[in-house]
Amino acid sequence: MDKIIIHIRPVVWTEGEIYGLRIRVSGENPEVRIDWGDSCVKSFYGNEIEEYHTYPKKEFLQFKVEVAVISGEVEFIDPCGGECDIDVIDFSDAPSIKEISVENCQNMILDNPNLEKLSVRIFNGSNFDLSKCPNMRQLSFEGGINMTEIDLSGCRRLERLDVDGSWQNPKFSKIVIANDAPLKYVRLSSVNLSRGNVQYIQNLITKNKGEVYYA
């Protein structure tokens, strides 16, 4: 049974703290149980699930949302809570997941050998470990004012990389990529990578007959 645990905190700049989850599950007659962390627990059925929940408008409150896939396998999840920030989201008990999209996240725990596509916007976050995602093919990364580097050395199937950094973070100067990765598309925006690191990425892309784009 796949399980995903999300620690969220409501923000206070709107009226009504709505938190949502979009989930895609494979298999016949899939069932997903969501514990919203405030004594509300519901079960949902079907391959495509999109549900929303409202929390009190108090930023000092924290809730632990647990998504349990009772039957079937989770293929995709998008915690789409624009009015809640994610302190940490733990995917380590969902090994079958193939695609993740996360915004307003400070930290993630990843241990997902089947993960192929990750889109993440880090909010005041720091480095996170991608070494246990060897089948990663696409990574879209935004933010990370406390980042120093992104280590993709274990992602030897990486084909596409999109990084939108921050000029306010001069310490984010390195992206580590395996020299045998079949990387053919790189887009870099607002990054402070070292000259040597940029040249390494360019050489790898040239070898693979791909393109590097700067924005």
> What pTM did the predictor assign?
0.89
Distance CA 202, CA 186 (A): 9
> What is the pLDDT tens value at each position of the chain, 215 positions in all?
899 999 998 876 665 567 899 999 999 899 999 999 999 999 999 999 999 998 887 767 899 999 999 999 999 999 876 678 888 999 999 998 999 999 888 888 999 999 999 998 887 666 677 889 999 999 998 877 777 888 999 999 999 999 987 655 667 788 999 999 999 999 998 888 889 999 999 999 999 999 999 87
Q: How far apart are CA 11 and CA 151, in angstroms?
A: 31
- Taking the C-alpha atoms of residue 179 and residue 168, their distance in angstroms, rounded to an integer, is 29
Contacts of residue 31, defined as CB under 8 A and 6 or more positions apart, other chains included, come to 43, 44, 45, 69, 70, 71, 72
> What is the pairing mode between strands 3-10 and 63-79?
antiparallel
